[in-house]
Amino acid sequence: MSFWSDPIRVANEWLNGLLTDLLPQAWATLIGNVIGVVVVSSFGLILVIFLIWLERKVAARFQDRIGPNRAGPYGLLQTIADIVKLLTKEDSIPEKADKVTFNLAPIVSMIAVLLIWAVIPFAPGWIGTDLNVGVLYIAAVGSFGILSILMAGWASNNKYALLGAFRAVAQLISYEVPMLLTLLVPVLLARSMGMMHIVHDQSLWFIVLAPVAGVIFLVSSIAEVGRTPFDLIEAESEIVAGYHTEYTGMKFGLFFAAEFLHAFTVGVLFAILYLGGWRGPGAEQYPILGMVYLIAKSSIGYFIVMWVRSTLPRIRIDQMLDLNWKVLTPISLALLILTAILDKMFAETALRAPVLLGANVLVVVLSWAIIRVLSRRSRRERKVFKKRPEARAV
């Protein structure tokens, strides 16, 4: 195994040897862990700097602009300039705010996103730690993000911020339900919660076996990030900036960075759970290729997120909750039941993939028909309008 095909393992072995020579075993393990953590989390943080530039550039293209192009080649240093600016901005804490919670909220929001990266398998053997409850862990630490928004909204003691936090309660926890249910589908198909195991099991990508679940996962994840069309928690035209109205300087910057990293993490999770993660030709021999595949596949999900963001307008809160509770949740429950029964009946047979795919198509057709019938009925009921008062010149 040469250094260039698998640099992480080579570096890891070298470091391990060095540490066990110098220190007692317990200390060596601890320091090895610390180094691993610093590598993984700083990878995430450095990625953010690039992602913010990328998103601004792509969003600009969608809107027929050029985007940042002054600082550095292609405007690549724009984010660095922004960080320097944010660092030198005064940090004002409102007099009426709950100080401890107010200061803690941006930190918690960043922690919540960074923690997900601990179980992301980048390539064969490249993983922070391969927890055997990986998916459950992701669901668990993902909810910290909601907590941070609640903390920020509550502690600001500002009515707009509090409204943002209220909306976050309704929206984020609602969309957590279909997200959890569709996270369950890959677990069911792979028969494991370990992230590495799920990737290893995808000789056939799960998007083929469960395409509808994949789409629902992506949609509810977009809602979890709080991006347009689900950006009600920070709707600028309605409630100033939602939960981060009172935040200035670097604390606002942390919320901002956490949101961008979360959006990309959604792409990464989508790639791992449904698009086969690092799998690809030659990835087993040359793990560095696996990393390239993972980034490429994640970009698909991330690009969809950006595309949706710059295409769709914001939807109303009742529409958003209806979409979740009356469309996504029933469909994902039906999918879960169908997948569980059919996968048991056709496991290990050649029919497994076509049957599961057929079930997915069936679910889509059926739910489309039901939605059509229901919406037509409710439209008929709504036909009777009250006469509106006429506007008259006085």
Partner 1 sequence: MEQNWLFIGVFVAIAGVFPLLPIVIARVLAPRKPNHIKLETYECGMETVGDTWVQFKVEYYIYGLVFLIFDIETAFLYPWAVAYDVLPMFAVLEGVLFIMILVGGLFYAWRKGVLEWS
Q: Are 182 and 217 in contact (CB under 8 A)?
A: yes
Under the binding rule (CB under 8 A), the answer on residue 236 touching partner 1 is: no
114 part of the interface to partner 1, by CB under 8 A: yes
Give the span between the Cα atoms of 176 and 186, in whole angstroms: 16
Q: What is the nearest approach in angstroms of partner 1 to the Cβ of residue 316?
A: 9
**DSSP structure string for 63-79:** TT-----SSSGGGTTHH
Q: Please, how many CA atoms are within 13 Å of residue 227, restricted to the half-sphere of its CB?
A: 26
Q: Of 10, 23, 36, 288, which lies in the binding site for partner 1, with binding defined by CB under 8 A?
A: 36
3-state secondary structure (DSSP) of residue 273: helix
Q: How many residues bind partner 1 (CB under 8 A)?
A: 88
Largest CA distance in the chain: 92
Region 154-193 residues binding partner 1, contact defined as CB under 8 A: 154, 156-160, 162, 166-167, 169-170, 173-174, 176-177, 180-181, 184, 187-188, 191-193
Q: Encoding tokens for residue 120?
A: 């992301």
Decide: is 54 part of the binding site for partner 1 (CB under 8 A): no
With CA atoms as reference, report the closest residue to 273 among 199, 197, 192: 199
Q: Which two tokens stand for residue 352?
A: 């497994």
Distances (CA, A) of 273 to 164, 261, 265, 328: 31, 18, 12, 18
Residue of 28, 52, 110, 269 interacting with partner 1 (CB under 8 A): 110
| Minimum separation from the CB atom of position 62 to partner 1 (A) | 29
Measured from the CB atom, the residue of 232 and 306 that comes closer to partner 1 is: 232
Instruction: Write out the binding residues for partner 1, residues 4-33 only, by CB under 8 A.
Output: 29-30, 33
The stretch near partner 1 (CB under 8 A) out of 52-60, 204-212, 292-300, 316-324 is: 316-324
- From the number of C-beta atoms within 10 Å of its C-beta (0-12, 13-18, 19+), residue 273 rates as buried
CA angle 86/90/96 to nearest 5° reads 120
Return the residues of window 256-295 that contact partner 1 according to CB under 8 A: none
Residues 319-338 that bind partner 1 (CB under 8 A): 321-322, 325-326, 329-330, 333, 336-337
Q: Does 118 bind partner 1 (CB under 8 A)?
A: yes
Smallest separation, CB 307 to partner 1 (Å) = 28
DSSP string spanning 78-141?
A: HHHHHHHHHHTS-----TTS-HHHHHHHHHHHHHHHHHHGGG-EEETTEES---TTHHHHHHHH
Binding status of residue 235 toward partner 1 by CB under 8 A: no
Shortest CB 356 distance to partner 1, Å: 14
Query: Which residues are bridge partners to 123 per DSSP?
Result: 126
From 80-88, 210-218, 295-303, 371-379, span contacting partner 1 (CB under 8 A): 80-88
Integer Rg of the chain from CA = 23
Options 38-46, 263-271, 292-300, 375-383: segment touching partner 1 (CB under 8 A)? 38-46
Contact positions with partner 1 (CB under 8 A) in 335-374? 336-337, 340-341, 343-345
- Shortest distance, position 347 Cβ to partner 1, whole Å: 8
Question: What's the rounded Cα separation, in Å, for the pair 54 and 45?
Answer: 14
By C-beta, is 59 or 170 nearer to partner 1?
170
**Residue 104 CB contacts under 8 Å (≥ 6 apart), including other chains:** 151
Of 15, 317, 355, 364, the one binding partner 1 (CB under 8 A) is 317
User: CA–CA separation, 179 vs 257, rounded Å?
Assistant: 22
Between 193 and 275, name the residue whose CB sits nearer to partner 1: 193
Q: Is residue 92 within the footprint of partner 1 (CB under 8 A)? A: yes
Min CB(227)–partner 1 separation in Å: 20
Nearest approach, Cβ of residue 238 and partner 1 (Å) = 12
82 near partner 1, rule: CB under 8 A:
no
390 touches partner 1 (CB under 8 A) = no
**β pairing state of 121-123 and 126-127:** antiparallel
Nearer to partner 1, 55 or 176 (CB): 176
